[in-house]
Amino acid sequence: MKPQNYYIIDFDSTFTQVEALDELARISLNKHPDKEAIFKKIEDYTNLAMEGKLSFSESLAKRVQLLEANEDHLKQLITRLKKKVSASFSRNAAFFKKHADEVLIVSGGFKEFITPVVSQYHIKKENIYANTFVTTGDGKIIDYDHSNPLSEEGGKVKLMRQMALEGDLYGIGDGYSDYQLRESGLIKKFFAFTENIARESIVSKADHITPSFDEFLYVNNLPRAISYPKNRILCLVVGDIPKESIDLLKKDGFSIRHKTSFEEKYVADVGMILLADGEKIEQEKLERAVKLKTIGYLGSAKNKLSFQTCTDMGIVVFDDPKSNPRSASFIPKRVIDFMNKGTTYMSSNFPNLQLPAIDKSHRLIHIHKNVPGIMAQINTIFAKHNINIVGQFLMTNPTLGYAITDINAEYDKQLFKSLKKIENTIKFRVLY
């Protein structure tokens, strides 16, 4: 019998983008005359504990003493935290629903604010392990339950030893207490979560660095909202590109390399390129960039790259012939929209297709030569695999057909192989 898997997930700076006690301090001390100095002390205690430079119990005690918080402040904090759930966790809510018995939230934070946030994602209350506050009759937070092992140094290790779960345990988190589970031998692998913060002292000790929860699900072959994590897609930025443009791509989770030229070592693996005005792509390099899906050009790309070659290879180009000052944001957004939704609206070489993402479905993109009978072949393959089509879109120009199909069924890899083998196929990929 296959052993039971358990997924041990941290809360602060992992499930959420922020450290909750730091946020609580900013709420409770909002009108305090020395608030900035106190904020700094609390953040310092947090970081020292997360990096393993201060015992967790000492850090926790010092932070709670400085809070001056009450239950009304907690309500405000919960509202704020619900808006600060890490993006990759938020979009994978379906995973938590399907694997509710296997997901455990284990945190040095507090149940009072953790439970209302993670319960929205189908995580069972009995699977939430955290500290609890001690309050006075009027709701003022004065202490915490010191008998809880999670309030102690090495608390996660102590708790997991007490629980004695049988099966394979996988830990995901950003701090030293998460690494301690791996060090103790209680978990099979430790995944350092870096979507919100990357602590070098922790990253260097991880079994795997996971820039997003999508990456964690991908490497463990678990159900996920997107088929291929964006942090695995290499985006090459070439030339004098505004910071605004780069920040947009980084925020969306792509793996960015900013270079002065299209270096040879990136030709085989690059998935996206953003070029500054005046930059060129050599024809022979373009022809060898077989994984390249889209090019954004901050200006007119005419005579700077071959539109025909891009079209023949299924590469979507977005440029700005009028060199509009807004292209620094407009072009990266078009590139991102194509990568996320398959939208080719306002592209320079593809049929224009604009459509929303559809929940609870998988989106398949098929780029082919515009010859008769392709769509019939695509749909015949779907029928053979008993695939239910939610929506289907086709746009063509004289040479190219661009088809998007949304399906709501589970699929197997043989389906992909069959679609790729259709004669006159240029490119096929699963978007999400």
In a shared domain, residues 138 and 181? yes
In a shared domain, residues 248 and 166? no
Q: What letter represents residue 53's amino acid?
A: K
pLDDT tens, residue by residue, 37-55: 998 898 898 888 888 888 8
In a shared domain, residues 379 and 299? no
CATH of the domain at 370: 3.30.70.260
The last residue of a domain, from among 199, 220, 241: 220
- Please give the DSSP secondary-structure letter assigned to residue 13: I
Q: What letter represents residue 152's amino acid?
A: E
In a shared domain, residues 87 and 205? yes
Q: At what angle do helices 20-28 and 71-82 cross, to 10 degrees?
A: 130
Task: Check whether 74 has a pLDDT greater than 80.
Answer: yes
Using alpha carbons, select from 182, 242, 13, 232 the residue that is nearest to residue 109. Answer: 13
In a shared domain, residues 48 and 131? yes
Cα 327 to Cα 347: distance, rounded to the nearest angstrom: 13
Using alpha carbons, select from 87, 411, 375 the residue that is nearest to residue 251. Answer: 87
In a shared domain, residues 262 and 371? no
Range of the domain at 259: 233-339
Residue 318 gets the label, from left (phi > 0), alpha (psi -120 to 50) or beta, of: beta
Cα 320 to Cα 337: distance, rounded to the nearest angstrom: 16
In a shared domain, residues 175 and 310? no
- In this structure, is residue 62 part of a structural domain? yes
pLDDT tens, residue by residue, 366-420: 999 999 999 999 999 999 998 889 999 999 999 999 999 999 877 777 898 999 9
The chain-wide mean pLDDT, for the chain, equals: 93
- In this structure, is residue 346 part of a structural domain? no
- In this structure, is residue 300 part of a structural domain? yes
Sign of CA dihedral 328, 347, 225, 193: negative
Residue 396 gets the label, from left (phi > 0), alpha (psi -120 to 50) or beta, of: beta
pLDDT tens, residue by residue, 84-106: 999 999 989 999 999 999 999 99
CA distances from 97 to 92, 93, 100, 121, 393 (A): 9, 7, 5, 7, 30
Task: Check whether 64 has a pLDDT greater than 90.
Answer: no
- In this structure, is residue 345 part of a structural domain? no
Q: What is the mean pLDDT of residues 288-310?
A: 96
In a shared domain, residues 408 and 317? no
Cα 103 to Cα 99: distance, rounded to the nearest angstrom: 6
- In this structure, is residue 228 part of a structural domain? no
The first and second tokens of residue 147, run together, are: 């008998």
| pTM exceeds 0.85, yes or no | no
In a shared domain, residues 45 and 191? yes
In a shared domain, residues 60 and 199? yes
In a shared domain, residues 78 and 205? yes
399, 409 in Cβ contact below 8 A?
no
- In this structure, is residue 355 part of a structural domain? no
Q: What percent of the chain has pLDDT over 90?
A: 77
CATH of the domain at 297: 3.40.50.720
Q: What is the mean pLDDT of residues 135-156?
A: 92
Question: Number of folded domains in the chain?
Answer: 3
Using alpha carbons, select from 297, 290, 327, 318 the residue that is nearest to residue 237. Answer: 297
- In this structure, is residue 204 part of a structural domain? yes
- In this structure, is residue 44 part of a structural domain? yes
Q: At what angle do helices 374-384 and 413-420 cross, to 10 degrees?
A: 160
Give the pLDDT confidence score for residue 1 in this predicted structure. Answer: 65
45, 62 in Cβ contact below 8 A?
yes
In a shared domain, residues 210 and 237? no
pLDDT tens, residue by residue, 223-260: 888 888 999 999 999 999 999 999 999 988 899 999 99
